[in-house]
């Protein structure tokens, strides 16, 4: 079982955001990795890592990080969108289109699942 330290994860995550905003993508990636090490289920840190790696020009590691996120959250449309963007940036267009299609399908499923609840509450 993995231990989690949400406060440490949040601190590293905020540091990563600050570094990313300052244009220090490689340093931001290290901070996001530290956040993930403190709490592997801190999905915003995973998204930050993917973005930082892309910004640092580390496209294959960005794809790997996005694939890891889709494995952690297979039903999350945003994870598949992040994968699609990373694949497209790396020039893997057919794979990017497939990931984008998967994201759309998952988003439709989310919309369909929420529709009956909305109607019941009326």
Domain ranges within the chain, ordered by starting residue: 6-121
* Structural domain 6-121, CATH architecture: Alpha Horseshoe (1.25)
Tokens read off for 54: 């892309």
Mean pLDDT of the region 83-106? 98
pLDDT at 120 over 70: no
Placement of tokens 């009956």 in the chain: 116
pLDDT class of 2 with cuts at 50, 70, 90: low
Report which of residues 114 and 67 the model is more confident about: 67
Using left for φ > 0, alpha for ψ between -120 and 50, and beta otherwise, residue 23 falls in left
Q: What average pLDDT does the chain have? A: 93
Q: What is the pTM of this model?
A: 0.88
Q: Which residues, in sequence order, are CB contacts of 27 under 8 Å at separation 6+?
A: 19
pLDDT class of 4 with cuts at 50, 70, 90: confident
């Amino acid at each position: 079982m993995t231990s989690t330290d949400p406060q440490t994860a949040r601190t590293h995550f905020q540091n990563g955001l600050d570094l990313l905003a300052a244009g220090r993508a490689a340093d931001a990636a290290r901070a996001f990795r530290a956040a993930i090490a403190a709490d592997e289920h801190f999905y915003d840190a995973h998204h930050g890592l993917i973005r930082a790696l892309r910004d640092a020009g580390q496209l294959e590691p960005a794809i790997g990080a996005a694939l890891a996120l889709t494995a952690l959250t297979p039903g999350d449309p945003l994870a598949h969108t992040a994968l699609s963007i990373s694949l497209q940036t790396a020039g893997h267009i057919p794979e990017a289109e497939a990931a984008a299609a998967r994201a759309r399908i998952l988003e439709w499923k989310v919309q369909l699942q929420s529709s009956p609840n909305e109607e019941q509450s009326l």
